[in-house]
């Protein structure tokens, strides 16, 4: 069965870097309006695997900001 991961092109300090979606957690900070925090890894092996492509697309779109971060769904063959 194929699984899917989210590859992110993220701008960090003005440079484009490649990362992979790892997990989502609730923000513990009281001084921000963001409720959820996305955790990104540079190691493809640690990326969160999705069994449903539609779910991966929705999570990728949730944190995508065109000028800062874009998501691409990759298929992982088994």
Q: Is 80 exceeded by the pLDDT of residue 34?
A: no
Please give the pLDDT value at position 67: 85
Which single residue is written with the structure tokens 């991966």? 56
Q: Taking residues 45-68, what's their average pLDDT?
A: 93
Q: Taking residues 54-70, what's their average pLDDT?
A: 91
Say if residues 51 and 58 touch (Cβ distance below 8 Å): no
- pLDDT tens for 22-33 read 999 998 888 888
Q: Is 80 exceeded by the pLDDT of residue 48?
A: yes
- What angle (nearest 5°) sits at the alpha carbon of residue 14, between those of residues 31 and 69? 65
* Residues near 49 by beta carbon (within 8 Å), at least 6 away in sequence: 3, 4, 5, 76
Please give the pLDDT value at position 3: 96
SS (H, E, C) 42-70: CCHHHCCCECCHHHHHHHHHHCCECCCEE
């Amino acid at each position: 069965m194929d699984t899917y991961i989210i590859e992110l092109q993220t701008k960090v300090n003005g440079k484009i870097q490649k990362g992979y979606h790892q997990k989502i957690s609730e923000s513990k900070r009281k001084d921000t309006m963001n409720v959820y925090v996305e955790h990104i890894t540079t190691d493809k092996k640690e990326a969160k695997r999705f069994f449903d492509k539609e779910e991966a697309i929705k999570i990728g779109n949730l944190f995508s900001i065109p000028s800062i971060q874009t998501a691409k769904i990759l298929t992982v063959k088994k």
